[in-house]
Structure 1
């Protein structure tokens, strides 16, 4: 491999993580031209195109997918080998790359990540938000954050939150105009603030009571892909929203929102940090896991 090959591999993985050459350049502290040149140089030596590039998108080719699947774990091992020297030191040193669902930061960022970085000033943290499930090892992440039910069985999982619950909420003004639904069937007569999933489909509101399942059919008045936008729309009286209870709790307590069909909104397994357990665990992850468990004991 050319002596600059390692940085070229890191550039390729940064483009995969960020989804664009410009964002990868910001992550790597390089110019967009340098990132493009690094990828082009590697493609020339490999005699294979790694990315399909247009003015609007960057996507791995089939050859690129195969290449990334092989180099992702290898680069993590190289990085961990460097960090292992510090594994027994008083403070971990290095960078943690974490993959997490969009809008999940409100559930853990201020409570876990901020104090972690304050305690360990030599650690850097990069959090990439992606809705789709990915192979964190193949794509160069040290750890991921997902719902417990979505974590691969070969990973070590550490609970970040307790059980979560999606609830149906509306503003008092909206309910005064349109009435309060008393059963899931009533939702078809209401206006919905609905979420668009990463695959393009609308998220179906799944309700449950005493083992009885119901997929609500609510006409969407507004379709969004951002939880905060959905919350703002519900507060503005535009319709009913199906939203994480944690996000709506303060507005419910203040009377700005009202929860309806409460008995049909059941809890489910919460978010977990997860990481590979079959290889050396870097000091940075060990310290993060210790802080998560420490925080959990304090809140019991």
Structure 2
């Protein structure tokens, strides 16, 4: 009787869902050659080709489509059974992989990531920071963390912090020389530090007041793609920067920077964790979700993620 190992079945499903050996190998944490050998061994024992391979593509054969349609639900049931058992373990183990941005990492590192590792000493955490949004499922991440408006619509969403408020700031010396803008239109007469987005486009500053909302392509000779550099440049008097209040609060409190146009920069939904919808999520991710809820609900005092 033909029997295939669970690893071989997972290999077939991964290659099918990812559309190739390289992406599937990254997801499973094995080499492409090892993955190819597993599937070839299974095909040999079954006496049928599951994939039609070419130099440009890997697609399921007719037999492969039928096989995946039958095996997929069974493997999902096995994964769910394992995850249910895993929830009863005293300690979580493995690696929690999260994709996020540099700015978000600064916000969550101490209250969430380091706290998670302290609560789960057998767990490792890998944070990958990217400016551009990626498909967390296809790239082998357990979850992503972004502002709410950037999250794909088909994801499960867990709010992390409260709303985020933008802040337009400049140095005391800059305002002494150039004065302060009273309305957004005044920015056309100011030196603004422009932001280059991960997509390559320039960020248009966003404003809203009494139901009126609009964006401005502000003028400026300095363009940067990192918020820390923008903050440093604003401190040094290079111009006005459009950042988040949490980034500039210490400088404003210390008098190094002053905020302007605050009544034109209302808050927007803050960070959230997101992950693909499924019947049961892995125990390692579930524990991270539980920690987020603990912090938000102030089970250890006032939430450090609030504005």
Q: TM-score, normalised by structure 1?
A: 0.75
The equivalent residue for 1:204 is 204
Distance in 2 between the 1:15 and 1:186 partners?
54
Aligned length: 263
Alignment of 1:107-186 (within 5 A): 107-186=107-186
1:87 equivalent in alignment to 2:84: no
Give, in angstroms, the shift of residue 164 of structure 1: 0.2
Runs of 4+ in 1 over 4 A off after TM superposition: 3-6, 8-11, 13-17, 38-50, 63-66, 76-85
The equivalent residue for 1:278 is 278
Distance in 2 between the 1:192 and 1:39 partners?
48
2:203–2:217: 8 Å Cα contact kept in structure 1?
no
Which sections of structure 1, spanning at least 5 residues, go unmatched?
A: 18-27, 29-34, 51-62
1:194 equivalent in alignment to 2:194: yes
Cα 1:181/1:248, change in 2 over 3 Å: same
Give, in angstroms, the shift of residue 286 of structure 1: 1.1
- Aligned-residue RMSD, C-alpha: 3.5
Cα 1:16/1:169, change in 2 over 3 Å: farther
CA-to-partner distance for each residue in 1:54-74, whole Å, 9 max, x for gaps?
Answer: xxxxxxxxx4899xxx9xx99
Cα 1:90/1:222, change in 2 over 3 Å: same
Distance in 1 between the 2:261 and 2:236 partners?
20
Alignment of 1:260-299 (within 5 A): 260-298=260-298, 299=302
Q: TM-score, normalised by structure 2?
A: 0.74
Q: SS at the partner of 1:134?
A: coil
Q: SS at the partner of 2:202?
A: coil
Distance in 2 between the 1:295 and 1:93 partners?
22
The equivalent residue for 2:45 is none
Q: Point out the structure with max Rg over C-alpha.
A: 2
